[in-house]
Structure 1
């Protein structure tokens, strides 16, 4: 995965050469924003998912600012916000409202339903945002570790096979 990302992501030098960045250039020059490592990518994924679900506007900009502030992988944080798009927003928002209604059962949903629409929606959306960011964070850690273990075992098998043929 790391090699695949290295081939596809632009280099920090190419990004710094963009004139339109203007005053943001010194902040984007930080190397930790571009490192492809387990911790930075997991944090980027978690923050990007949280912002993608919890905040309906300016998601990529806010995720990029969060990446700069918390010093984690900026491309992953920005890309993770794309989980919400015109195709996924209606089912996500409907699910958030249903989840919030389930979590707030005392709220009389049918009496003045328009006035009560906000609380279940916000509670459900924040729950989805928090759970998805935690799942993304720990899921990426587990997948990365699993990938390392599989590569290590393959190297050990290859090493044993080459020793046996000699």
Structure 2
């Protein structure tokens, strides 16, 4: 969730060295694509400003002058909000995958046990 150029490179590097799923890591990087970036970064900026207790800037312009001057005001809430949002989403995703995985494994074990019980009754 942290705005940075070439997000796929660190995602692939970290996935490789942390023995994570590389294709999934690269795919998840594209949650923040050119279409979703403006609303995502605006939301994480507002969240970061709220967490830091600062007054959010309401006027954004995509001009060279604003990027040179205005970015110095918004970078801390933006990066802090992005980091906290990323941690929250990572924990939520991890717990969700663990719960779904465990549910599916238990469901398959019960189905297998039911099939075995049915076969042993027939014998």
TM-score (norm 1): 0.59
Counterpart CA distance in 1 for 2:41 and 2:114 is: 48
1:150 counterpart = 2:107: yes
TM-score w.r.t. length of structure 2 = 0.76
Deviation at 1:88, TM superposition (A): 1.7
* CA-to-aligned-CA distance 1:109-137 (integer Å, 9 cap, x gap): 46xx9343222211111111111112222
The higher radius of gyration belongs to: 2
Identify which of 33, 37, 40 aligns with 1:92: 40
- Does residue 164 of structure 1 match 2:121? yes
On the 8 A contact 2:12/2:25 being kept in 1, the answer is: yes
Is the Cα contact below 8 Å between 1:109 and 1:116 reproduced in 2? no
Unaligned runs of 5+ in 1: 1-52
Count of residue pairs brought into register by the alignment: 111
Per-residue deviation, 1:55: 4.0
Stretches of structure 2 lacking an aligned partner (at least 5 in a row): 61-69
1:64 equivalent in alignment to 2:12: yes
